[in-house]
Amino acid sequence: MKELHTEIEIHAAPAVVWQVLTDLPLFEEWNPFVTLASGKVEVGEQLSVHMEPPGGKPMTFRPTVTRVVAQKEFRWLGHLLFRGLFDGEHIFELEPLAEGRLRFVHREKFRGVLVPLLWKSLDTNARAGFEAMNRALKERAEARM
């Protein structure tokens, strides 16, 4: 297993950040990494997610929502072709700090036989995409305060 981990501090209430993060149809307005997304943010639901990692190949996949804790955590699990080849558990976490601030943790756990072959591009292209999304989420949420 390999894990990609990024985080950013956001000066906004958890409710505001959660609203931006879970309003999937509006991703195309602000998100430079997950440029299109649709579906219900509910456990067991299948999403449609289009990612465009900087310097990488755009891809669309259909992960399943595995965990939702309002204003705290949202996870999905996706597979390339079939389970065990290349699986990614994408995790968004909101950790409250002082009043009106939070730490947004954006990470993904990768498993499967292809992970060692793809790790370098994940640690560069995907990481750059995570960080771009984090900055855009911060900007959008803080503009609403």
**pLDDT, tens digit, for every residue of 98-136?**
888 999 999 999 999 978 777 788 789 999 999 999 999
Residue-wise pLDDT for 61-105, tens only, equals 999 999 999 999 999 999 887 788 889 999 999 999 988 899 999
Total domains in the fold of the chain: 1
Q: What is the CATH number of the domain that holds 69?
A: 3.30.530.20
The residue segments making up the domain with residue 100 are 2-143
- pLDDT at position 17 is 98
Q: Which residue has the higher pLDDT, 15 or 85?
A: 15
The residues, ordered by sequence, that sit 6+ positions from 51 with a Cβ below 8 Å of its Cβ are 33, 34, 35, 58, 59, 60, 61, 129
